[in-house]
Structure 1
Amino acid sequence: METLATRRIAERFSRLTPEQRRTVYQKIRAEGLTLGQFPILARDTSSPDHCHLSYAQLRQWFLWQLDPSSTAYHISGALRLTGALDVAAVRASFDALVQRHESLRTTFRAQAGGLAEQVIHESVEFDIAIVDLGAIAGRDSREIRLREEAHRLSDTPFDLTTGPLLRVGLIRLAPEEHMLVVVMHHIVSDGWSMQIIVDEFVAQYRARVQGAAEDADLQPLPVQYADYAVWQRNWLEAGERERQLGYWTSHVGTDQPVLQLPADHARRADGRYSAARHAFELPEALVKGLQKRAQGRGATLFMILLAGFQVLLNRYTGQSDIRVGVPIANRHRVETEGVVGFFVNTQLLRSVLDSRESLTQVLARAKEAALGAQAHQDLPFEQLVEALQPERSLSTSPLFQVMFNHQRGDFKALDSLPGLTMTEYDLGTQAAQFELTLDTSEDADGRVRASFKYAAELFEPQTVERMAGHYLALLEALAERPEQTVGDVKLLDEAELLQLQQWGSQHQSQESSVGDPIHSRIEREAAQHPEATALVFGDESL
């Protein structure tokens, strides 16, 4: 009965004018309720086939218009299929997926006044690209071409106005060896959606090769992504936007400093970089120590890993105001769990660090920021950017320049298909969205894997490898010596200390050959000219 009542309220709310929605919103809030408790409704499909974009899609549309050739927002995955493959069943399976998920049949167009809308097509011309490499002699040569073809599929830009925004390629290496490559544009998908695509492809393919005449027996989707976009806009515009925006503007503040990571090479004006990755794993003993420390402080592993990253950025830049972007799945509503679409949201977690404060204090602040963000997770990041109006630049992303992405190890294992085995194939990283991203995964077996994804034209591999070692040193301190201050944690290992000593010895020998060291010269000048200006900083002088 309660479900029926809330549904009726949601239906009535959807039919109100914007002014009436704001009035109802205030009444519901006064009773201690929130519109977020009410269901997302499926829209009337007899209405026009176009509707507003979600706020996240609006930003993707804006970015695509700035640079239609960019591949930074492509989501790619590849599976190696070994065994007898039924190509017709593969085609039919993806046809069923495209028909099931409206996002895969959606294109975008500009309206008068610069606005945009998404257009949902009843059907689209979709086909799988078949590439046959079987005639290439030599396995090594085929593997090289395989990677080239996979990257060609992944790196070919999408046209958001024509679609389709799903691209599937099947690369044949041998009669019983194939590679399946799936590429989508972020405006219609996210990482969670890629898992849905894989799971449902497995179900559809299995049904067909086992003789089913129709699609796999999947539960009907309660809503589609366009329904979510309408619900999101109605809810936020009724007043929820102002409530959550109040928290975020207070948390972020009015100044928007740019993180100045010391780079090996000059930054590009257009901000376009290819991506590279340095992977490493946290030792088992360290993971246990971090978990124990976090639990003792009422925190989570995510929070303590974030705290360590914030300290690392502080130590590398010397900046106290550290801002890190954190993606969240935004799938906390049951209606959206199985829907392909761009649900993921980004939160900005801020910490103002002092070199004299303890690591325990940094962890406490990371915990506070994470809990506050969780309580205000529905505000689209794009709305925060619009409200704060940071200075725009192609060379840097707004509000933050680094990201931390932590995932739990509850991913489904790849199901085996009749007559086939499937293994994931790493396509590698193509374009870097940010200068630096820390990815960590908390696996079901207790392992914690990590990697730094970085702008390859900015940083040398050995620089990022050294950074990973320093991050581990900070995590060791958080686990074992949390009373240490931020500035006292030793980052350098024995090899790095030895290198510094060698450089120091070389410098001393050079100084002895050219005269007094620099500090002695400064002292002499100060004694000879005590009234002269020594330092100038802005409007201040000393």
Structure 2
Amino acid sequence: FLHQDLSEPVQIIDRQIALPWQDIDLVSLDANAREAGLARFLEQDRLQPFDPAQAPLLRFALVRLAPQRARFVFTSHHILLDGWSMPILLKELFALYESRGDAHALPPATPYRNYLAWSRQQDRSAAEQAWREAFAGLQEPTKLVSSPASTSGRQESFAFSLPHTLTDALTRQARQHSLTLNTLMQGAWGALLARLTGRQDVVFGITVSGRPPELAGVESMVGLFINTLPLRLQFQPDEPVAQVLARLQDEQSSLIAHQHLGLSDIQRLSGFASLFDTLFVFENYPVDPRGRQPSYAGVQVARAGGSGGDTTHYPLSIAVIPGAQLQLRVGYRPDLFERPAVEQIVQRLQRVLEAIAADASQPIGHIEILAPEERQQIL
């Protein structure tokens, strides 16, 4: 991917390229040394950067741990593929493995150029007008952090799971009020952000799949389609939560046809160089989760984990993972936040969610975000 001295970035696809591959044998080591060797390799691999101008922007390693057990490590630059693509890629990879490399084992791929052609056909002026209207009257960006950030961009992260009972209650509330769980979670974060900043008109970032449903085959394409967009939440403190969430869902639905516009363009249309410094992502890929643990030709495959893909350059980001228990993956810039402060924000988000789960008709501005001991200390 080249951009230096060019009016716009271009992608160069080589006809032939050497595949970066490592075969690492740890079988002869004792258990402790084997685990230490695996951990050391994974850390070294995680820290090895890609140069976007040098292909290929992916690499593989097979780490043999026992005669019948190995760790297959796939590392790539995010510019190649998004989270939706990963299960598709793995399914195709192991289908090839089962067929001993026979490319006929895979269905014909929808070319990525089809998406590029679709993108060029979109009405840019209509999209610009829609986003201009969406941010009309906005007085200022929404920033949790006022101090300048360092240039490191490094994020720390941790995971937090909501209780089963709360997850079930939120799901019921969303269904009862004809809301998506995504809308409910976005509204809860927006309500908390409003309280943290003392405003009733807030903006934060969201990530959308960027896969237009009208494009045939887009659901099975591998590539980078996601787009980060601003979400604006406005409300009056006395409005019922359900009413605010319903309006938010309607507003977001009206912008779906215009989600192809880039973030920098939208911010320019809003009149601000930057609209937000927090990112809230709801990961809802329409794939069978069992596709991550298939069996091919007697080989049992299980997902061992991943790292790197959830980090962003924003001071604070929260990714929501659906399941029997909603999981929050929280990333934060340690040069801007201390972990106890981030944990407190997450605890307050849970209190907002508990309030919505208990009564979606209550005024959104009356939700208590402080723990009893915090409130007592303030009073």
Residues 244, 115 of structure 1: alpha-carbon distance in 2 compared, 3 angstrom cutoff: closer
Match of 2:254? 372
Asked if the contact 2:145–2:277 (Cα under 8 Å) also holds between the matched residues in 1, the reply is no
Aligned residue type for 2:119: Q
Question: Which residues of 2 match residues 413-492 of structure 1 at below 5 A?
Answer: 413=290, 414-429=293-308, 431-443=311-323, 446-492=324-370
Q: CA deviation at 1:216?
A: 5.0
User: What CA deviation, in whole Å up to 9, does each residue of 1:180-214 have, x standing for no partner?
Assistant: 11122222211122222111111111112xxxx73
Residues 458, 283 of structure 1: alpha-carbon distance in 2 compared, 3 angstrom cutoff: farther
Match of 1:246? 129
Question: Which residues of 2 match residues 80-91 of structure 1 at below 5 A?
Answer: none
Residues 305, 220 of structure 1: alpha-carbon distance in 2 compared, 3 angstrom cutoff: same
Question: Which residues of 2 match residues 102-113 of structure 1 at below 5 A?
Answer: 108-110=1-3, 113=6
Asked if residue 159 in structure 1 is aligned to residue 51 in structure 2, the reply is yes
CA distance in 1, matches of 2:42, 2:139: 39
Residues 427, 113 of structure 1: alpha-carbon distance in 2 compared, 3 angstrom cutoff: closer
CA distance in 2, matches of 1:229, 1:334: 13
Query: SS of 1:187's equivalent?
Result: coil
- Pick one of 181, 203, 213 that aligns with 1:301: 181
Q: What is the RMSD computed on CA atoms of the aligned residues?
A: 2.8
Q: CA deviation at 1:370?
A: 2.0
Query: SS of 1:400's equivalent?
Result: coil
CA distance in 2, matches of 1:375, 1:227: 17
CA distance in 2, matches of 1:132, 1:348: 47
- Pick one of 156, 160, 170 that aligns with 1:279: 160
Query: SS of 1:119's equivalent?
Result: coil
Asked if residue 119 in structure 1 is aligned to residue 7 in structure 2, the reply is no
Which structure exhibits the higher relative contact order, with contacts defined as CA atoms closer than 8 Å and separated by 6 or more residues? 2
Asked if residue 339 in structure 1 is aligned to residue 215 in structure 2, the reply is no
Aligned residue type for 1:463: A
Aligned residue type for 1:441: I
- Pick one of 181, 185, 194 that aligns with 2:73: 181
CA distance in 2, matches of 1:159, 1:150: 19
CA distance in 1, matches of 2:367, 2:269: 38
- Pick one of 94, 108, 111 that aligns with 1:220: 108
Residues 295, 487 of structure 1: alpha-carbon distance in 2 compared, 3 angstrom cutoff: same
TM-score of the two chains, using structure 1 as the length reference: 0.62
Residues 255, 227 of structure 1: alpha-carbon distance in 2 compared, 3 angstrom cutoff: same
Asked if residue 318 in structure 1 is aligned to residue 204 in structure 2, the reply is no
Match of 2:96? 204
Match of 2:119? 232
Aligned residue type for 2:182: F
Structure 1: any 5+ residue segments left out of the alignment? 1-107, 392-397, 505-542
Asked if residue 268 in structure 1 is aligned to residue 155 in structure 2, the reply is no
CA distance in 2, matches of 1:311, 1:271: 30
Asked if the contact 1:262–1:317 (Cα under 8 Å) also holds between the matched residues in 2, the reply is no
Asked if the contact 2:159–2:327 (Cα under 8 Å) also holds between the matched residues in 1, the reply is no
Aligned residue type for 1:120: I
Residues 109, 493 of structure 1: alpha-carbon distance in 2 compared, 3 angstrom cutoff: closer
Q: CA deviation at 1:251?
A: 0.6
Residues 340, 256 of structure 1: alpha-carbon distance in 2 compared, 3 angstrom cutoff: farther
Question: Which residues of 2 match residues 64-79 of structure 1 at below 5 A?
Answer: none
Asked if the contact 2:157–2:329 (Cα under 8 Å) also holds between the matched residues in 1, the reply is no
Q: CA deviation at 1:248?
A: 0.8
Query: SS of 2:10's equivalent?
Result: strand
Q: CA deviation at 1:218?
A: 1.1
CA distance in 2, matches of 1:229, 1:256: 35
Match of 1:351? 233
Residues 450, 134 of structure 1: alpha-carbon distance in 2 compared, 3 angstrom cutoff: same
Asked if the contact 2:85–2:222 (Cα under 8 Å) also holds between the matched residues in 1, the reply is yes
Q: CA deviation at 1:496?
A: 3.8
CA distance in 2, matches of 1:420, 1:485: 55
Asked if the contact 1:310–1:322 (Cα under 8 Å) also holds between the matched residues in 2, the reply is yes
Larger helix share, 1 or 2: 1
Select between 168-177 and 185-194 the one with higher mean Cα deviation: 168-177
Residues 456, 421 of structure 1: alpha-carbon distance in 2 compared, 3 angstrom cutoff: farther
Q: CA deviation at 1:352?
A: 2.3
CA distance in 2, matches of 1:109, 1:350: 34
Aligned residue type for 2:321: S
Query: SS of 1:278's equivalent?
Result: strand
User: What CA deviation, in whole Å up to 9, does each residue of 1:240-260 have, x standing for no partner?
Assistant: 011111111111237573433
Q: How many residues of Structure 1 are paired with residues of Structure 2 in the alignment?
A: 373
User: What CA deviation, in whole Å up to 9, does each residue of 1:124-152 have, x standing for no partner?
Assistant: 1113122333454442x433432332232
CA distance in 2, matches of 1:431, 1:438: 10
User: What CA deviation, in whole Å up to 9, does each residue of 1:38-79 have, x standing for no partner?
Assistant: xxxxxxxxxxxxxxxxxxxxxxxxxxxxxxxxxxxxxxxxxx
- Pick one of 123, 129, 153 that aligns with 2:22: 129
User: What CA deviation, in whole Å up to 9, does each residue of 1:480-519 have, x standing for no partner?
Assistant: 2334333422223344446x27xx7xxxxxxxxxxxxxxx
Query: SS of 1:121's equivalent?
Result: coil
The structure that has the greater radius of gyration is: 1
Asked if the contact 2:61–2:72 (Cα under 8 Å) also holds between the matched residues in 1, the reply is yes
Aligned residue type for 1:401: D
CA distance in 1, matches of 2:315, 2:53: 29
CA distance in 1, matches of 2:17, 2:235: 52
Query: SS of 2:79's equivalent?
Result: helix
CA distance in 2, matches of 1:457, 1:157: 21
Select between 450-459 and 245-254 the one with higher mean Cα deviation: 450-459
